[in-house]
Amino acid sequence: MDFTLKIWRQENAKAKGRFETYNITGISADCSFLEMLDILNQQLIDKIEKPICFDHDCREGICGACSLYINGHPHGPDTGVTTCQLHMRKFKDGDTIIIEPWRAKPFPVIKDLVVDRSAFDQIIEAGGFVSVNTGGVPDANAIPVPRVDAETAMDAAACIGCGACVATCKNASAMLFVAAKVSQFALLPQGKIEAKERAINMVAKMDELGFGNCTNTGACEAECPKNISISHIARLNREYLTANIS
């Protein structure tokens, strides 16, 4: 398969970026998107040209590092997958593919396709944890949790913090990310003790960092590689309201 790649190149956060065009040929349909970029980079290195910087780590859909905006979609045209799980068979031979970094003020470009997503780390530091000493691992039946609550909390905990929700939101809102991190604790007994501080502090940090407001377009849920439901945003709103009136 042959492709024309229009890739965003930018030296750093302050430099002026631009699209550069590359042609790549002989790519297998079973090749992953990141493997295709690896092949392109090797070709650039062989020609003594600067390779394209892009973020990656596990390449198993777990870490969320492979944050690329591809043809107008975070992680590309496939659904429920990260960029590292996207395969070239999702494109047509001869396609032009536009590859950009996340576009959000709280995610400044570091270089080329790599952005600084440490804003998410700061939100987690503000309250996305349980600091109460719970001791050793209790027996599974010692703290009864309804199955529906346990499964919903696990669904929320599946969020990998990739930032696709922010990248696709017209407001660059981080509500789905924050909601998932609050919701995974809000449904469990261990998370009840610090529930008030958690909701207030994480939302305050999100606002401080410059993320936009949620206007319920649902784009975040549609583009989330882990299919996190926007129902968690409703739970976050309830937790935040309860914390402010109690």
171 and 133 together in one domain? yes
222: confidence class by pLDDT, cuts 50, 70, 90? very high
Indicate whether 130 and 196 sit together in one domain: yes
Contact call for residues 210 and 162 (beta carbons, < 8 A): no
> pLDDT value at position 190?
85
Which of residues 76, 91, 110 is at a domain's end? Answer: 110
Q: Are residues 14 and 58 in the same domain?
A: yes
Residues 160 and 66 in one domain: no
Q: What is the mean pLDDT of residues 206-210?
A: 96
Is the per-residue pLDDT at 141 higher than 80?
A: no
User: What tokens does 26 get?
Assistant: 């002989």
Long-range contacts, 147-154 (Cβ 8 Å, 24+):
149/187, 149/188, 150/187, 150/188, 152/183, 152/187, 153/183, 153/184, 153/185, 153/186, 153/187, 153/188, 154/184
Percentage of the chain exceeding pLDDT 90:
87
208 and 124 inside one domain = yes
CATH number at residue 210: 1.10.1060.10
Nearest to 107 by CA among 154, 167, 169, 33: 167
What integer is the mean pLDDT of 202-221?
95
> Would you say residue 133 has pLDDT above 80?
no
Percent over 70 (pLDDT), the chain: 98
For residue 66, what are the contacts with CB-CB under 8 A and spacing of at least 6?
Answer: 34, 54, 55, 56, 57, 59, 75, 82, 83, 84, 162
Q: How far apart are CA 72 and CA 171, in angstroms?
A: 16
My answer on whether 180 and 71 are in the same domain is no
Same domain, 158 and 214: yes
Model confidence at 96: pLDDT above 90: yes
* Whole-structure pTM value: 0.92
Residue-level pLDDT at 143: 76
* 140-154, 195-209, 219-233: least confident range: 140-154
Residues 104, 136, single domain; the answer is: no
Structure tokens belonging to residue 77: 């045209």
Residue 78 sits in the same domain as residue 157: no
> Where in the sequence is the domain holding 60, given as residue range(s)?
3-110
Q: How high does pLDDT run on average in the chain?
A: 94
**For residue 140, pLDDT beyond 90:** no
Q: Say yes or no: 127 and 239 in one domain.
A: yes
pLDDT per residue as tens digits for the range 11-55: 998 999 999 999 999 999 999 999 999 999 999 999 999 999 999
User: Are 125 and 97 part of one and the same domain?
Assistant: no
Domain boundary residue, one of 110, 137, 157? 110
Which of residues 110, 145, 174 is at a domain's end? 110
Q: Which among 53, 38, 73 is positioned nearest to 8, based on CA atoms? A: 53
Q: Are residues 101 and 196 in the same domain?
A: no
Q: What ranges in the chain are assigned the alpha helix state H?
A: 33-46, 118-127, 147-157, 164-168, 175-186, 195-208, 219-223, 231-245
Total structural domains within the chain: 2
